[in-house]
Chains A and B, each alone.
Chain A
Amino acid sequence: MEKRLEDYKGVWTLGEVREGEIHPVSYELLAWGRGLADKLGVELSSIIIGHNVKDKVKELICRGADKVYVIDNPGLKDFRADPYSEILTSLVEEYKPEVFIASATTLGRTVMPICMIKLETGLTADCTGLDIDLNERLLIQTRPAIGGNVMATIKTPFSRPQMSTVRPKSKRPLPRDDSKTGEVIVKEFSGEYLKSRVKTMDFLKEETIGAPIQDADIVVSFGKGLKDAKNVGLINELAELLGGSVGASRKVVDLGWIPYSHQVGLSGKTVSPKLYIACGISGAVQHMAGMSSAETVIAINSDPEADIFSLADFGVAGDLFEVIPLLIKRLKERAME
């Protein structure tokens, strides 16, 4: 059956549940979605899939959603691509949104490509900007590629919904509005929809300082300039003091000074925190690809010619073993004031 593009209306965001709670990336996505829906003059809806989440969806409305579709089932406690993609595809076919976005998290980047094939439409990965072209009534998707060397603007002109995953931390959530009202629609799915060829057996939680780096507002990163694994404590202390997380360059991950989950860059994670502090990182292009979309960058490096300074909003050229301890001291003093 031929899809009629004009039958598709409304903006949808995919909410994300982690360990039973609605994750804040869901609210960042609603901030993007609200802007798009207002421009298009349509409703903003959020989808939430999980178990025991029914009572938690009010927050999605306070953060911008007009409608929330809830799928609450014990069989959906853990993310599995099979049931998630089946349910999402079925909902999209029933309600026909024109725009459908998810966070570019491991969940979003797994389930959205599957939905895209099932729905025979386009999907743009890891966008850092979304807007509406009102003349054509099309979603304008902007994303970095080739290690941040180019920005590509992408449209999905001939099929619906127009789908994107959006880089976490690329927008702040809207302030909570307690007075906002909205509709909650509970959808039931059972039988075939809940079947999965993948079984979740265990979750091995990694104990770290702060949030996973992709979710962190502040990332304090280090590279070879830290000289020895035993000095990682200095970075940990600064990160803890600032309420941030610890990132690292490829070199120090390969040396085993810190686990891979902390690696920022082309073969690691892409992060977009409000503040990125690069300590003893020279700034290889592969590293910069993973952090160039940070809001603010600070660099501390003994080599005043280091490439990392070209990307820094503020830099200190000096020995990090002098600079960081003194900085920690000053920050503690100022906190007492």
Chain B
Amino acid sequence: MKIVVLVKEVPATENVKIDEEKGIMIREGVESELNPLDLYAVEEAVRIKEKLGEEVEISAISMGPRKAIATVKNAIAIGCDKGYLLSDKKFAGSDTWSTAYTLSTTIKKMIDQFDLILCGERATDGETGQVGPCTAAFLRIPVLTYVSKIEKIGDGKIIAHRAIEGGYEVVEALTPVLVSVVKEINNPRIPTLKGKIKAKNADIPILKAEDIDADEDKLGLNGSPTRVVKISHPRIARKGEILSAAKDLDGAVNGLADFLRKRQVI
């Protein structure tokens, strides 16, 4: 069985800094990490491999700047067998359409006869959740989103639970299939020392547009149907009134009840 895991490098959430004047994110000097929601996808791939045995091969694929090689290595440290990094100026400015085009073209070219593609529900920076289903659409394979449990995989089939509004949908799909997972699916492990050494020594090919036979018109900003025309930094501070219950419990609670009435909640 061949499993592909899509991983993204994102700025560490705690470290997001905004240029107040320009309203843009400062990327220089900010620590990056493997998208926390992709960790569940990596972990699930490794669990499937452990359950089914040696004949499972897991490839991690990422797209990003050169330094994102650290993210691919991290996926290997956790248990992926090999990794690829897509890094080329021509990929810069990709929206979800051209990102999915690039990833799907790479999978077609590099991974012969895959059975399963795993990815996180969304990345914690862009938060679109679109690249997974879009990649499946380019590859013309079925997609299962919001998966909280993989009950069974093998013999050309997968049975999974989807965490949707109000409960869990149990579905059976034909493989190859793309599955996006939610946090509920597992508890990701910490890489072992052995894993880290394997990652350190791993050879990660850096792929450019010509390596994946991509149609250049479909890459990067030029290939993207959407355009970000403005980025602003919202002032989310609301600065509401704060009453101290420690000083005056009755006053604070009555104040709160009055506020609820004013806002027509009660």
Query: Which A residues are closer than 8 A to B by beta carbons?
Result: 18, 78, 81-82, 85, 105-107, 109-110, 112-114, 116-118, 120-126, 140, 144-159, 196-206, 211-212, 214-215, 218, 242, 259-261, 263, 266-268, 274-275, 285-286, 288-289, 292, 296-298, 300, 304, 309-319, 322-323, 326-327, 330-331, 334-335
Contact = CB atoms under 8 A, between A and B. Distances in A.
Interface string B237-254: 111111111100110111
Contact of B266 (A82, A206, A312, A334): A334
Contacts of B162: 106
- Which secondary structure dominates where chain A touches chain B? mixed
Given A212-B165, A286-B13, A313-B240, A330 B259 contact: no
Nearest to B232: A151
A198 B242 contact: no
Contacts, number: 277
Nearest to B39: A267
Interface stretch (B56-64, B131-139, B189-197): B131-139
Q: Which 9 residue pairs of A and B lie closest in terms of their CB atoms, listed nearest first?
A: A318-B245, A122-B225, A117-B137, A125-B128, A122-B226, A315-B242, A113-B133, A153-B230, A260-B184
Given A114-B133, A315-B240, A267 B36 contact: yes
Contact of A260 (B100, B163, B174, B259): B163
5 contacts: A106-B145, A206-B166, A242-B266, A267-B183, A285-B16
A249 to B, nearest CB: 13
Contacts of B95: 122
A106 B172 contact: no
Contact of A81 (B23, B143, B231): B143
A49 B18 CA distance: 43
Contacts of A315: 240-243
Interface string B125-167: 1111110111011100111111010000000000101111111
B137 A113 contact: yes
A170 to B, nearest CB: 14
Contacts of B129: 109, 125-126
Contacts of A206: 166-168
B111 interface: no
A125 B171 contact: no
B71 to A, nearest CB: 17
Nearest to B253: A326
B166 A18 contact: yes
Contact of A275 (B169, B233, B254, B263): B263
A155 B13 contact: no
Contact of A114 (B18, B37, B143, B182): B143
A185 to B, nearest CB: 27
Nearest to B162: A106
B240 A312 contact: yes
Given A123-B130, A125-B128, A260-B182, A312 B242 contact: yes
B207 interface: no
A81 B142 contact: yes
A322 B253 CA distance: 9
B185 to A, nearest CB: 9
Contact of A116 (B134, B236, B243): B134
A218 B266 CA distance: 11
B13 A317 contact: no
B91 interface: no
A61 B25 CA distance: 43
A116 B97 CA distance: 8
Nearest to A153: B230
A145 B96 contact: no
Contacts of B250: 326
Nearest to B168: A204
Given A106-B162, A242-B265, A315-B242, 16 more contacts: A113-B100, A116-B134, A126-B127, A145-B125, A147-B127, A149-B16, A151-B232, A157-B227, A199-B172, A203-B168, A206-B167, A261-B184, A317-B245, A326-B249, A330-B253, A331-B266
Nearest to B265: A275
B125 A323 contact: no
Given A81-B143, A319-B245, A334 B261 contact: yes
A228 B152 CA distance: 35
B144 A198 contact: yes
A198 B172 contact: yes
- Most B CB contacts (10 A, CB to CB) among A18, A144, A151, A292 go to A151
